[in-house]
Structure 1
Amino acid sequence: MSSSATNTATYKFNHTMLRVRDHVKSIKFYEEVLGMKKFHESSGSDFTNYFLAFPGGFGDKADASDEEKAKVQLNREGVLELCHNHGTESDPSFKGYVSGNEDEHKGFGHIAVTVDNLEAAVKRFDELGVKFKKRPEEGRMRHIAFIYDPDGYWVEILAQQRP
């Protein structure tokens, strides 16, 4: 053990990064389908990172400017970082990213989002043309759904309160 003073009780799970082929399609999905908002972006020479989160997670800063939200980004939880490597969206030889759920590439599984009403959310996803991996009425686990994002990553959808 290190002798430096740190308190693990203050640690927070801040963000998850997903590589995306087309940042425009991905940002649109996470904003329009799931209700997140992009509040910051950071560019490198050949990539750009986009940071999205649910607005309520900013607390009293929910109505702040994106610049102000970026300042508190590292002090909140539930941030999604989308990393776009420039050119992948228009490269016909680009095969896409591995979601982590294929047999030969098992690893990363999914992110999860809780919703106020699972049945209503599923109906809304249907209306938006969202592709499902698993609907609530399928299989044994009737209290969850899985949808695909534009890159084939799984997003688990479950009610904030179980029936």
Structure 2
Amino acid sequence: MSPQPTPFEEGAFLPGGHNTDPPLPPNDPTIGTKLNHSMLRIRDPQRSLHFYITLMGMRTVFTMNTGPFTMYYLGFPSSAEDRADLSAWAAKVSDPVNLTQTLGLLELFHIHGTEKPVDEGGVEMANGNAPPNLGFGHLGFTVPDVGATVERLRAEGVKVVKELGVTTRESIPLSEWEEKRGVGVGEIHPNYKVFFDQIAYVADPDGYIIEILPQNWQKEIDKKFGSEISIGDTIAEKA
């Protein structure tokens, strides 16, 4: 008999899972480790920088042309003081002492020549969500107003991959290609749909999926479903 794919009850929101993680004592060698940045390969720096800087609000921490490729490190200036003097903010964050302590950075990685048409030696980027080349899923950005953000991006020509309120298998995305192989079969549980209802997806210039989430998730759930439902509730029991 093959093992079950998950030990968790369907539809249950479980902080800590089953709380079976090993203890984390003060002398653990992983203390101080942080998730510092993510890296995406890009084809066209002009298009990608327009998306992440102009449309998403990030700003340049530093750039470096290494010869074969150029790196663009981006981040979010978090204070009014930082936003008022972007050059000072970039100098502060890019200092090696601060750079590795700063969370939420994005590295755009442009290998020179990939911007050319494919028939001239350029390279198409795989976004990790198109079968059979599955892997990377998405980057998640929290925003004050998901609906307003989606409409602003749509007006700028950005492709909307998943609209607010859509909770289908296809919008996860889960494909027929996977289902035919017995992978990811079944319907989405109503409890998760309450979360997923409040999320939108857009595509960046290379087709990577960008998840747009509300910064006040409970407020958005209250607006649509009423305050009797809270994060972690079993929605089926409330119905």
TM-score range, shorter chain: 0.7 to 0.9
TM-superposition CA deviations, 1:65-97 (whole Å, max 9, x none): 523321122111000000001122124422411
- 1:82 paired with 2:97, answer no
Check conservation: 2:41, 2:125, Cα contact below 8 A: yes
Shift of 1:130: 1.2
How many aligned residue pairs are there? Answer: 158
Residue of structure 1 equivalent to 2:207: 152
Check conservation: 1:61, 1:69, Cα contact below 8 A: no
TM-superposition CA deviations, 1:86-144 (whole Å, max 9, x none): 12212442241111111111111010000011121122122222101101132243200
Residue of structure 2 equivalent to 1:102: 130
TM-superposition CA deviations, 1:44-81 (whole Å, max 9, x none): 1210010001111x897664252332112211100000
Tell me which moved more, 90-99 or 150-159: 90-99
Shift of 1:7: 4.8
Q: Give the root-mean-square deviation of aligned CA atoms.
A: 2.0
Structure 2 segments unaligned to the other structure (5+ residues): 1-26, 168-192, 221-239
For 1:65 and 1:135, the matched residues in 2 are separated by 35
**Structure 1 vs Structure 2: percent identity of aligned residues?**
36
TM-score normalised per structure 1: 0.87
For 2:142 and 2:150, the matched residues in 1 are separated by 12
Please identify which structure carries the higher strand content.
1
Residue of structure 2 equivalent to 1:19: 41
For 2:93 and 2:114, the matched residues in 1 are separated by 29
